[in-house]
């Protein structure tokens, strides 16, 4: 390349971001250097601070810079219901929907023996201890609806059999607003198997 | 938001990148914090260094951390032909095509009186001086083929009338590999007006 080494280096560094290829990385680099240097400074600093300070919540393992995350520390949440999710992004999505007021437990992944991710890496023991110690009434498993998520969900349900907590899994079915024509077969199978009676009288 | 302030801040900071909305910014933030902290450190540092060191080339105004960029400093380039482009990204594209071995001059924008961008901001005087001083034989204007680029090209051509240099503009026409059916009318008009005789005997 005839370009400057520092610019090449920055283009390369941007490629660590998900969904960013060589063209986007170049566009980001030139945009910041040409037009938005203050934004670039802010990004560089925010990133350095976040990487230094942000760790995992001692209660639910989500990302936070505090010892205990805001949800686990909140008194307005129902600490008797715990929702198990794969990643902090899932918490963001559930919180935005406003459909859950309990606490969470983040696995930070799913069972994947081939990548060396077993129950210890997912903190399953920590989850079992938490359920026991806090007398949690219901554990809602919200792993992703795919093969790895299913396996993880069954494993956790199996481990929780001996506890007093009810173990449930969020429903699978046709997404709201979706069109039946475009829904895949596996989702339709789930949707039929999980059908509910409409008699509410 | 129930999330951590540092994470929120980082998500916000990522939004300064072009084409990055709230969802992508969140995905980038969580990806770096969960899975690629070393990449994040590298990005933060590269960005800080580049913002500190990278300035403009004294000869052609492109982005570089040196006093004179590599192309302007190279002896293997033809310093008698100068290509005028709007941004350093255009240099990347032209260099990748390998179709030009002269030197460049970067306007860092186009004439846009409504945004307060006039000839001084584009360094037109510096270009005229450079053409005069270096006895440049040909100035190839490669501004973008749109209204602002056209205006800028005509302005530069006008200013260079008194110099000895030949002023040319890169050809507009049907892109190679494109299908005539999908080419817009304005491009077709240019393609017809710029038609060339096929007699090469």
What are the domain boundaries of chain A?
63-169
**Residues forming a β-bridge with B102:** B78
**pLDDT beneath 70: ranges in chain B:** 1-3, 200-201
pTM of the model: 0.82
**Residues forming a β-bridge with B139:** B82, B167
Question: Angle at CA A65, nearest 5°, toward A106 and B16?
Answer: 95
Q: Of A8 and A175, which is predicted with more confidence?
A: A8
Res A52: pLDDT: 95
In the predicted model, what is the mean pLDDT of chain A? Answer: 91
User: Is the pLDDT confidence value at A194 over 90?
Assistant: no
Show the tokens assigned to A4: 């400057």
Q: Do B44 and A39 touch (CB under 8 A)?
A: no
The answer to whether B10 and A50 have CB atoms below 8 angstroms apart is yes
Architecture of domain A63-169: 3-Layer(aba) Sandwich (3.40)
Res A82: pLDDT: 95
Give CA–CA dist A159/A154, Å, rounded: 9
Pick from B31, B48, B66: CB nearest A4: B66
Report yes or no: A10 at the B interface, CB cutoff 8 Å: yes
Mutate to test the interface with A, among B24, B39, B43 (most CBs of A within 10 A): B43
Which stretches does DSSP call E strand in A6-119? 55-56, 63-64, 78-85, 102-106
Confidence category of residue A1, pLDDT binned at 50, 70, 90: very low
Res A33: pLDDT: 94
pLDDT digits (tens, 9 = 90+) for A20-64: 999 999 999 999 999 999 999 999 999 999 999 999 999 999 999
Architecture of domain B69-169: 3-Layer(aba) Sandwich (3.40)
Query: What is the CB neighbour count within 10 angstroms for residue A40?
Result: 23
Show the tokens assigned to B155: 């302005």
Question: Between helices B37-53 and A5-14, what is the axis angle to 10°?
Answer: 150
Report yes or no: A188 at the B interface, CB cutoff 8 Å: no
Mean pLDDT of A79-92: 93
Q: Which of residues 107-126 of B touch A (CB under 8 A)?
A: 108
- The ipTM of this complex is 0.84
Res A200: pLDDT: 60
Q: Helix H segments across chain B?
A: 5-14, 22-35, 37-53, 70-73, 88-97, 124-133, 147-159, 185-193
């Amino acid at each position: 390349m005839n370009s400057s080494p520092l610019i090449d280096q920055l283009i390369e560094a941007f490629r660590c971001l998900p969904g960013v290829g060589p063209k986007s990385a170049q566009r980001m680099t030139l945009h910041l250097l040409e037009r938005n240097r203050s934004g670039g400074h802010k990004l560089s600093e925010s990133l350095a601070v976040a990487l230094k300070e942000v760790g995992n919540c001692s209660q639910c393992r989500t990302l936070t810079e505090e010892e205990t995350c805001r949800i686990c520390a909140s008194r307005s949440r129902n600490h008797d219901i715990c929702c198990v999710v794969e990643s902090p992004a899932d918490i963001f999505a559930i919180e935005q929907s406003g459909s859950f007021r309990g606490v969470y437990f983040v696995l930070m992944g799913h069972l994947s023996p081939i990548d060396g991710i077993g129950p210890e890496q997912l903190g399953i023991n920590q989850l079992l201890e938490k359920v026991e110690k806090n007398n949690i009434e219901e554990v809602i498993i919200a792993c992703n609806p795919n093969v790895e998520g299913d396996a993880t969900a069954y494993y956790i349900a199996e481990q929780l059999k001996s506890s007093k907590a009810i173990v449930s899994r969020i429903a699978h079915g046709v997404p709201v607003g979706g069109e039946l024509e475009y829904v895949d077969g596996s989702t339709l199978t789930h949707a039929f198997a999980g059908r509910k009676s409409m008699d509410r009288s």
